[in-house]
Structure 1
């Protein structure tokens, strides 16, 4: 996904729910920090953007987004990208992540803006699931020097997970 495509999803998502701010929590949140030209292919391969909202306890906004511009929607077939509405509460994130978000606000998002996970918080969160695609994503960012290993280790320390899992994640980034 290109940043321009993420901006389109942000604008459409905000319009669907009638709010100016959306939260980008999945792999494409990296586009809040880097343009696609600065990223390895593995970091921009996804055509899905995970979109959440700060105030959506019943997942109503997330469901509206998924229904309108989600996978297999007219939006998806027209633009080749789609949004998946998710609940922030279902994502394992480092303590304090809200204080470190990156704001993406451009003429292409207007009148909306995206609040994107900071890259180290994003990487720590991706590693929690420990799926092959998530490990490949984080490894690509590490290999390109787009993540600081020490900072990622610190963020892993802020995850609300058990110590065995934390040790596994730290071992992965040490390789």
Structure 2
């Protein structure tokens, strides 16, 4: 996905949910900090943007987005990319993530006023998810020099208290494996 496609998803999601405050929480949140031409191919390979709303207690807005422009929708069929409506609580994030949200100017996304996870928060959440595609995404950003491993360790250590120590240990082990001797 590129920024133009993401802006289209953001515009559409904002209109569907009647909420300007759109939050990008999945891998495409990296487009809030970098243009696609500055990113490795693995970082923009997904044709799905995970969209949440800060004010969506009952998940109704996420459901509306999912139904309107989600996978297998007419939107997806027409454009080849789509939104997955998610609730922010489905993503495990380090404490303080909301204060670090990025809010770049994206005029093409109006009426959405999009917020994006900060890259280290994003990578920490991807490592918690731990799927192969998440690890490939995180590894690509690290190899491209876009993630400071020491900051990433700080974010991992700031994951919610209910995160099991074995998960923390696994994530720290992954980070250490990324350090070049």
Q: TM-score, normalising length from structure 2?
A: 0.94
* 81-90 vs 106-115, greater mean Cα deviation: 106-115
Which residues in structure 2 correspond to 1:45-60 (within 5 Å)?
Answer: 45-60=45-60
Instruction: Measure the CA separation in 2 of the matches of 1:120 and 1:42.
Output: 16
The SS at the match of 1:49 is strand
Q: Aligned-residue CA RMSD in angstroms?
A: 0.8
**Contact in 2 for aligned 1:56/1:62 (Cα 8 Å):** yes
Aligned counterpart for 1:167 among listed residues 153, 166, 169: 169
Superposed counterparts of 1:49-88, under 5 Å = 49-88=49-88
Deviation at 1:17, TM superposition (A): 1.0
1:9-56 residue CA offsets vs partner (Å, 9 max, x unmatched): 111100111111100000000000000000011110000000001111
Counterpart secondary structure, 1:108: helix
Could you list the per-position Cα deviations for residues 69-92 of structure 1 after superposition, in whole angstroms to 9, with x for gaps in the alignment? 000111111111000000111211
d(CA) in 1 for partners of 2:19, 2:105: 14
Kept in 2, the 8 Å contact 1:9–1:82? The answer is yes
CA contact (8 A) 1:11 1:113 kept: no
1:3-14 → structure 2 map (5 Å cutoff):
3-14=3-14
Equivalence for 1:30: 30
- Residue 120 of structure 1 corresponds to 120
Runs of 4+ residues over 3 Å off in structure 1? none
How many aligned positions are there? 175
Which TM-score applies when normalising by structure 1? Answer: 0.98
Runs of at least 5 residues in structure 1 that lack an aligned partner in the other structure: none
Shift of 1:131: 1.0
Q: Which runs of 5+ in 2 are unaligned?
A: none
**Alpha-carbon deviation of 1:104?**
3.2
CA contact (8 A) 1:30 1:117 kept: yes
User: Is 1:134 aligned to 2:140, yes or no?
Assistant: no
Segment of structure 1 superposing worse, 12-21 or 119-128 = 12-21
